[in-house]
Chain A
Amino acid sequence: MRTEAPRRYPTYAPKVPRTWWLRTAPFRRFAAREFTAVFAAAFSIILLLFLFALSRGQEAYEGFLRWLGLPAVVVLLAIILVALLYHAGTWFRLSAHILGRREASRGAVIATLVAIWIAVSALAAWVYVAL
């Protein structure tokens, strides 16, 4: 799309350093937001493995539950939880930026999202306890 007309004058184009994302605090927060998406992917894979084990019968399912109980896996899941909470928080803020026109309505968007989040978590907890 860019039409490169030959320049009639010399120019200097500084190189962008590979570490640009470390340069300022907002860039570092952006990098943290993007990096924590890796943990969202990791959790999705664990969830898929869980469903796969479930489909292969009781033995496979119980084996998977034993794997989930391993100390190393518990530590991994704890790290994933923290990363996902952070990641979700960043997207609540970003969603508010997209949907809310003024600061007040942005607060309302975040409040709504958090309320939905709590409601869905409570529903999931209730299903887990009830069954």
Chain B
Amino acid sequence: MSGKSMALRVGRYRPERASEPYVDEYEVPASDDTVVLDALNYIKDRIDGSLAYRWSCRMGVCGSCGMMVNGVPRLTCSTFLREFGSGPVVVEPLRYFPVIRDLVVDMSDFLEKLRTVKPWIIRKDDRPVEEGEFLQTPDEVDRYKQFSMCINCMLCFSACPVYGQDPDFLGPAVIALAHRYNLDSRDQGHAERHEVLELNNGIWDCTFVGECTVVCPKDVDPAAAIQRSKVSTATQTLRSVVWPFGGRE
């Protein structure tokens, strides 16, 4: 420990004490390898046990510890205090989500939307297990692999001004995961996802601000997923109108 310290301004919301959120400032030890989550744990263990926040793996895998750090959605376990010079570091709950307590947001909206796009492999002709696995070539895996890396941390939602303006928008991660299954050669559920994805509040609400991709800690690139989804939908619609026999191959 170098003996240095840094000020952490933490957004607090304790509905039983105050109806409005407020800010508490804490002084935490800050070495070169201290991440924001370490600082929050230090506060919780040594200064103020009442602070509430979510975390689990500490290594950028579980997607629990997403918060606004100096106004940017980040995984706090992968955000080092040294990035911010002499501070202070402002930690707030993820933007655009209702806050339940301190840094804990209500994830219900995200989880409900995720369910609506059926993010699992849908088969029309399910085969018995004895017939063996569905084989895929490395190329077929490559088509969707990037979009399958999502850890549901919701940083992209907090980066998305469209979601901020219209809470009914399906949102970046949800569309990226729907796109991931649509691209999977084993999946036959495109039509089942169509209504949610391509009609109200789906892909066409996206104005391609692109910030979801910038903040994604797993390089999922939801912005590209949404735009490619738009391209493939538009192409299919055009084919069904222009081509003989609805463009079926």
Q: Which residues of A contact B (CB under 8 A)?
A: 1-3, 5, 7, 9-14, 16, 20-21, 23-24, 26-27, 30, 34, 94, 97-98
A to B contact number (C-beta, < 8 Å): 69
Question: DSSP class of A's interface residues: helix, strand, loop or mixed?
Answer: loop
Is A1's CB under 8 angstroms from B210's CB? no
Is A2's CB under 8 angstroms from B208's CB? no
Q: In the complex, which residues of chain B have a beta carbon less than 8 angstroms from the beta carbon of A94?
A: 208, 210, 227
Is A97's CB under 8 angstroms from B200's CB? no
Chain B interface size range: 35 or more
A9 to B101, CA, bound (A): 10
A94 to B231, CA, bound (A): 13
B residues 156-181 near A (Cβ < 8 Å) are 161, 164-165, 167-168
From B15, B167, B223, contact of A97 by CB (8 A): B223
- Among B78-86, B92-100, B236-244, the one that faces the other chain is B92-100
From A5, A13, A16, A98, contact of B99 by CB (8 A): A13
Q: Does B21 contact A (CB under 8 A)?
A: yes
Closest to B196 in A: A1
13 new A-B contacts at CB < 8 Å, known A12-B19, A20-B161, A21-B161: A1-B116, A5-B108, A9-B100, A12-B13, A16-B164, A26-B209, A26-B210, A30-B209, A97-B210, A97-B213, A98-B224, A98-B227, A98-B228
Q: In the complex, which residues of chain B have a beta carbon less than 8 angstroms from the beta carbon of A5?
A: 108
Q: In the complex, which residues of chain A have a beta carbon less than 8 angstroms from the beta carbon of B168?
A: 1-2
A10 to B13, CA, bound (A): 10
A27 to B212, CA, bound (A): 12
| Interchain residue pairs with CB less than 8 A apart (22) | A1-B113, A1-B196, A1-B201, A2-B109, A7-B106, A11-B99, A11-B100, A12-B15, A12-B19, A12-B20, A13-B99, A16-B165, A20-B161, A20-B165, A26-B214, A27-B161, A27-B209, A30-B207, A30-B209, A30-B210, A34-B207, A98-B231
Q: In the complex, which residues of chain B have a beta carbon less than 8 angstroms from the beta carbon of A14?
A: 21, 95, 99
Q: Does B211 contact A (CB under 8 A)?
A: yes
- Tell me the smallest distance from the CB of B54 to a CB of chain A, in Å: 15
Closest to A93 in B: B210
